[in-house]
Structure 1
């Protein structure tokens, strides 16, 4: 395996390449402001270094994850990780009404987020599944943002934009569709926190490979200054590159810490399975 310093520099290189690829206008601005560019490089370097240190601590899937993390992270950072799957996108409820049809009701903070929809055809099921998959994808990104120490509370408009971008990416990318289906299967069949965490880690890697990561972060952080959301994306990318190079040990353990308590997130997977069953009856 490459040395830590080599992996850190690999992460920094990947960050700069991703900025040029996914944020070309911001990349021009960055090159015109060396101090901001250096700050983002430093943020990527620190994140990759931290990830590798935590990897060494958590490599053997210990049970005392929180105690191990506390050697490297503040209580505030650990609490941020613990809340990583509790940042709400929206809630989708599936219920049969008096008309005999199943209906999809989509709310956020108790208010309508998207118009309710009756399930009359397979296309209605596909739409509901795409929306639910979009929320799973976004919450996976929010989890990684929490893991690198970024706390966000997206507004309704930011979440609307993120859902729109996620759904569009899902519909256009067969590999991403397969990754989401595989994730639901792996999560549902896993009988341990680490099993479910590995399933979610694989999905995060697929999201990164699909090139949608930066778009989602930009949507969720549209109220930030351009260099702030760029720094957020840089940290997330640096963590993912370091995680990929080390079989995901740190990130999988951090997910395992919280995954069994993620009740609302688990409900989304149950909804996908229910929609699949409803589709068979149409």
Structure 2
């Protein structure tokens, strides 16, 4: 009986969070009864999927594939590849003091001469921004939201984050914690979710997500925002951060992401030597 009561309270909490978020994300739109009902359904589906995933993680433990066996193969594949170079790579040549910023073998931003502390900071901010954006993409893919691979949108969100880095210390601290935990994958994965939740708290998450999904019609955006809110609300309410971090550890290929963290360490060392 107590368990049923808790489940009902959780369900109510998650649904209300989803509806409230949908209203906040489209304040100029009136949500009719049909829309609200569809939001409820999206929140329900998202919550049920996450509950199943968390249950299976706790049951299956180390078997990432089994933990997501209730999801479609396409979705699982996207989750696995969520950290596969979604923004760009920065190649640092310490000897020549240069940083090349490429995407798919093509120059994305002009090369940076690392001969001054200002330029090193510029390269560091670009690397930090890519880590923040890819962390958010990872969480979106885990929720089941497909993010288009579009260079124009990537540049847009990188600008949003680099601008924010001038005003916000929490982002830098969160990314630095991810970097420090790069040799402890479960801790690093949990740090990624902490970063995303912090971004939700200050509104940066929604700015980035809206930019990444800028071609999405407003009605789809309402439902998408509801799914995101339901997922995060349930994850936090059930203490599922550590569990979902295990899933990331067992399922997601993080090789490229780890290279970015190594780069940050290199740039930090270069800053200290100036």
Fold similarity call, TM over 0.5:
yes
* CA separation of 1:187 and 1:207: change in aligned 2, threshold 3 A: farther
* CA separation of 1:56 and 1:223: change in aligned 2, threshold 3 A: same
Work out whether residues 139 and 193 of structure 2, in 8 Å CA contact, stay in contact via their aligned partners in 1.
Answer: no
Q: Does residue 45 of structure 2 align to residue 51 of structure 1?
A: no
Q: Does residue 128 of structure 2 align to residue 125 of structure 1?
A: no
Match of 2:245 in 1: 252
In the alignment, the residues of structure 2 paired with residue 278 and residue 238 of structure 1 have an alpha-carbon distance, to the nearest angstrom, of 42
In the alignment, the residues of structure 1 paired with residue 131 and residue 212 of structure 2 have an alpha-carbon distance, to the nearest angstrom, of 14
In the alignment, the residues of structure 2 paired with residue 10 and residue 77 of structure 1 have an alpha-carbon distance, to the nearest angstrom, of 26
Note the alpha carbon deviations across 1:80-117, whole angstroms, 9 max, x for none: 221221251111111146xx4x1121111211211211
Note the alpha carbon deviations across 1:26-56, whole angstroms, 9 max, x for none: 233142x443343233212211222122212
**Residue number among 8, 11, 20 corresponding to 1:8 in the alignment:** 11
* CA separation of 1:87 and 1:151: change in aligned 2, threshold 3 A: farther
2:112 aligned counterpart, secondary structure: strand
The equivalences for 1:199-278 within 5 A come to 199-247=191-239, 248-259=241-252, 261-278=253-270
Query: Which runs of 5 or more structure 1 residues have no equivalent in the other structure?
Result: none
| Paired positions, count | 270
Match of 1:172 in 2: 167
In the alignment, the residues of structure 1 paired with residue 177 and residue 151 of structure 2 have an alpha-carbon distance, to the nearest angstrom, of 29
Instruction: After TM superposition, give the deviation of residue 161 of structure 1 in Å.
Output: 0.8
Q: TM-score, normalised by structure 2?
A: 0.89
In the alignment, the residues of structure 1 paired with residue 113 and residue 233 of structure 2 have an alpha-carbon distance, to the nearest angstrom, of 42
Q: Does residue 165 of structure 2 align to residue 162 of structure 1?
A: no
**Residue number among 70, 73, 86 corresponding to 1:88 in the alignment:** 86
1:3 aligned counterpart, secondary structure: helix
Match of 2:40 in 1: 41
Instruction: After TM superposition, give the deviation of residue 264 of structure 1 in Å.
Output: 0.7
Match of 1:106 in 2: 101
User: What is the root-mean-square deviation in Å for CA atoms of aligned residues?
Assistant: 2.2
Query: Which runs of 5 or more structure 2 residues have no equivalent in the other structure?
Result: none
Greater Cα shift, 10-19 or 127-136: 10-19
1:85 aligned counterpart, secondary structure: coil
* CA separation of 1:37 and 1:167: change in aligned 2, threshold 3 A: farther
